[in-house]
A and B are shown apart, each in its own frame.
Chain A
Amino acid sequence: MGRMLASKDFLAGLMYVAFGLTGLWLGRSLEVGTAATMGAGYFPRLVCGALIAVGAALALISLMRTGEVPERGRWRPFIFVTLSCLAFALLLRPLGLVLALAISTVLARFAGRDIRPVPLLLLCLILIVANVGIFVLALKIQIPLWPAL
């Protein structure tokens, strides 16, 4: 039984139900209206209902047979890729493009196994030169390059 409750299909079914319920809850104040005069909430409720039904069916059917259990993930790639993107988003305005790129690149590289300093420095340089060249010099996008003092 424990194995069934952790199967990929069962968890996917639960996930659909959870998304559907969240959708219903977030849209709880939207007006439904009638089929002829639909409010903003008519279609979302229809979609959420369908999603919950599909999710429930998937979960129930998965209980009738033993399915595959998800493979164990590794935390390191997941966490460092996420951190790298968040760092870029949060540091771009205060620190400017050059420093944000450097920090994000270092964090991204930590997601892999190879963190030798020399290739890392080289990669940072390549990415900074290429991105500043393409986006700031060629496409003229307004991004601050250095920290605002």
Chain B
Amino acid sequence: MLDILSNIVMGFGVALTWQNIALCFLGCVIGTAIGVLPGIGPLTTMAMILPVTFWLSPVGALIMLSGVFYGAQYGGSTTAILVKIPGETSSVVTVLDGYAMAQRGRAGPALAIAALGSLFAGSVVTLLIAVGGPPLASIALLFQSADYVSVMLLGLVSAVVLAHGSVLKAVGMIVLGVLFGVVGTDVMTGEYRLTMGLDVLFDGIGFVPLSMGLFGLAEIMVNLESAHVTGMSPKPVSGIWPTLADLKQSFPAMVRGTVIGTAFGILPGGGPTIAAFSAYSLEKKVSSTPQRFGKGAIEGVAAPESANNAAAQACFIPMLSLGIPPNALMALMIGAMMVHGITPGPEIITKQPELFWGLIASMWLGNLMLVILNLPLIGIWVRLLRVPYGYLFPTIVILCCIGTYTISSSAADVVVMTVFGVIGYGFRKLDCEPAPLLLGLVLGPMLEENFRRTMVLSDGDWSIFLRRPISLGFLLLAAALLLAVTLPNIRRSREEAFRE
């Protein structure tokens, strides 16, 4: 316990330097802004500012990028409540009761509960990472390559189970991501693989060009086909403080939301969106007055908003302690770490404690800043919605181009990004979700390396995966998950959960 305390103190020592406070603040401001603006998500934004973070210290870069991520969860709820447009997919359910409250003139309390719920969830999960991360990492140090192969397979399987829509389509996207990860120089033999002789692919398909193309450009092409989403002016908000009764009603919902959010955040393939959906449907089930939901029930705001922020932060747990990203956003964080020469894995906590604890301390700090940014300053953010999409989307296109170019001063990377923009447009048209692909792209090379090492050690004997108990455990878990998703009644409830 004393250990944790002294570590947290060290973490605050790192997070409270002027430079890191400024970066945390900047990340939170950018995060809130893109959270408010529909049509641009945290993934695109993090990819866009990734090149800028190369000039920062590794801790500073991670602090700023995480600030963008959880800041977006706060900002996304603002527009959901005020104008019925979720700034992020994770705020879709908040629209139901949040907007109903706003129509009754209770927009202020709804916003306040959303922010306080997020703060509560954020603080709990930050503590959980501090307490749970190090022991998990010491278990992970026992892992051998065979165990890593199995835990990554478990991750990929669970990403499939939790993906929207068709299971087979999601499997395909992950495998395609793994295939894209193969492109480039083979680390073991030095041979070029699937590069088509193009210099730009010798180092592999870049993470940034791919994600900016698939998420940034493709998103714009699809958005422009439908009605424009910004350029409106919502009514001003008056009286933000919730009553004591509001707080009493929403506190249990916040606790339940935090628990669910944490679980879905840790699960590979989970994340804020599915966490928010599940928290809302649970709240409706346990409520003694379910008919109030959808008509302005404050629990219907508290639960999903706590859940999405809990999930946004809990997904750092597997990323920091195992080095395995549970979703596309954490895959991007891993990419950022590798750019700074940090090898993600269980050694981070022991070898670079200031990175781990500094990041944790900054998360708590960031959550506090976000409450201040979002409550008293709400009017400023709402004004952002008046920016016409006609100004917004060319800016995103240009930032994608220049951001990709600056990574290695390569115009060819910009062409690669454009190609993935075109491919991503095709994916959208065919309802293929690109997020699992990104997970496959990052996990693929790790999977191959560990797989080959295992096979060399076992002299080509496949049964090694079943003989090591840790590995066997993960494989059984993966098999159970796969079986569960094919069972008819579980499948039905999964579909129901997504429909709601």
Contact = CB atoms under 8 A, between A and B. Distances in A.
Q: Does A associate with B in a complex?
A: yes
Interface of A: 8-9, 11-13, 15-16, 19-20, 23, 26-27, 30, 34-44, 47-48, 50-51, 54-55, 57-58, 61, 68, 70-71, 73-74, 76-78, 81-82, 84-86, 88-90, 92-93, 101, 104-105, 108-109, 111-114, 119, 123, 127, 131, 134-135, 139, 141-143
Contact of A58 (B172, B221, B462): B172
Contacts of B429: 8, 70-71, 73
Interface stretch (B244-252, B313-321, B338-346, B390-398): B390-398
A108 B394 contact: yes
Contacts, number: 195
A55 B411 contact: no
B422 A27 contact: no
Q: Is the interface of B mostly helix, strand, loop or mixed?
A: helix
Nearest to A79: B221
Given A12-B431, A40-B191, 5 more contacts: A44-B182, A47-B182, A54-B175, A89-B411, A123-B394
B353 to A, nearest CB: 30
Interface stretch (B83-91, B119-127, B280-288, B400-408): B400-408
A81 B55 contact: no
B452 interface: yes
Contacts of A77: 220-222, 224-225
Contacts of B196: 26
Interface residues of B, number: 67
A30 B185 CA distance: 12
Contacts of B135: none
A81 B194 CA distance: 27
Q: Select the residue from A37, A71, A78, A109 with max chain B CB neighbours within 10 A.
A: A78
A104 B398 contact: yes
B130 interface: no
B456 interface: yes
B455 A85 contact: no
B393 A36 contact: no
30 contacts: A12-B172, A27-B193, A27-B194, A30-B191, A35-B455, A35-B461, A37-B456, A38-B455, A41-B193, A44-B194, A55-B172, A70-B429, A73-B225, A77-B220, A77-B225, A82-B217, A85-B414, A85-B417, A88-B405, A89-B401, A89-B405, A89-B412, A90-B411, A92-B411, A108-B394, A108-B397, A108-B398, A111-B220, A119-B390, A141-B406
